[in-house]
Structure 1
């Protein structure tokens, strides 16, 4: 009897609970694209990535040079020297692959450096988001630019400007500057009520 009573009341209680929730969204890609410290960290990250990629490229170029030299001299080498050279080349290949994995693999140097550079910036953005959510009494705030699929977004629920305002980003200058990816642009003409 008790279960029946709950099942009967459930359709009446759930809609009221759902209506009590307040939702909104922001465009984090747009916000971060207007943050000078984010752009600086991104440029620094690119420099590290390029440097490490060049080191790896140099390692593989050296391996290629050793292989070509071995092939050119192979006829003149004794069996012991051939094995020794092949072993050296194989060791260099293993070393280069391991270094590549340490740099660009899961939790590699690139990942760690990016985390180190972006952490203070993303923490600052998160504090601004937390403050806006508390001020606007939002229960949920989605990132329009993330992998979450938002098929439709009502501009009245766009809190991007509030977060940018909280971060001290000049809204008029930010709107006037073009965003690199037009598909990630936010409609920043109306603030939610």
Structure 2
């Protein structure tokens, strides 16, 4: 009977020790910022921004021309013509405001799409490093508030090394 109890306790103890977790941390944003591919991402996003700016400049030029035309002809216009021209200018102002708003959203989408492959690669390497080092959980330090982090459990350097990136 004692042997059975000892055996059950031993199994319980082994199960308990195996169920313990090893938690690590990683600064994925630091890793992404040091990746050589990041230069290409930033260049693509900048080029996209320049394209949007040139499109906006066309609208701004059209707007300025309508304003200048309105000011030059205002004295000889009828009230109906003035109302029509003012409405055209207001519509153009609204279009420009919408273009600015959409441009900001489009820039964010472009940036996210360009960064997605980098995040995927980093995520895969984090998983590899975590498995190799027996971690059950990895928390990202970016954007999180931790009261204390033990540097011994930070795998950022290991991930950078695995990616071949020097600090």
The two structures have a TM-score, normalised by structure 2, of 0.76
Residue 13 of structure 1 aligns with which residue?
A: none
1:60–1:93 contact (8 Å) kept in structure 2 = no
* Distance (whole Å) between structure 1 residues aligned to residue 158 and residue 98 of structure 2: 46
* Map 1:14-163 → 2, pairs under 5 A: 20-105=20-105, 109-144=106-141, 146-163=142-159
Higher relative contact order (CA 8 A, sep 6+): 2
Three-state SS of the structure 2 residue aligned to 1:83 is helix
Deviation at 1:65, TM superposition (A): 4.3
Of 61-70 and 26-35, the range deviating more from structure 2: 61-70
CA distance in 2, matches of 1:54, 1:155: 47
Shift in Å at residue 100 of structure 1?
A: 2.3
Q: Structure 2 vs 1, CA of residues 47 and 151 (structure 1 numbering), >3 Å: closer, same or farther?
A: farther
165, 170, 174: which one pairs with 2:161? Answer: 165
**Root-mean-square deviation (CA), in Å?**
2.4
Seen in structure 2, the aligned counterparts of structure 1 residues 151 and 42 have a Cα distance that, compared at 3 Å, is farther
For 1:66 and 1:143, the matched residues in 2 are separated by 52
The CA distance in 2 between the partners of 1:151 and 1:70, in whole Å, is 62
Superimposed CA distance per residue, residues 90-146 of structure 1 (whole angstroms, 9 cap, x where no aligned partner):
2212222222232213xxx223322321121211111101111111222221222x2
Structure 1's unaligned 5+ residue stretches are 1-15, 176-193
CA distance in 1, matches of 2:136, 2:46: 36
What is the CA–CA distance in structure 2 between the aligned matches of 1:150 and 1:61, rounded to whole Å?
Answer: 51
Computing the radius of gyration from Cα coordinates, the structure with the larger value is 2
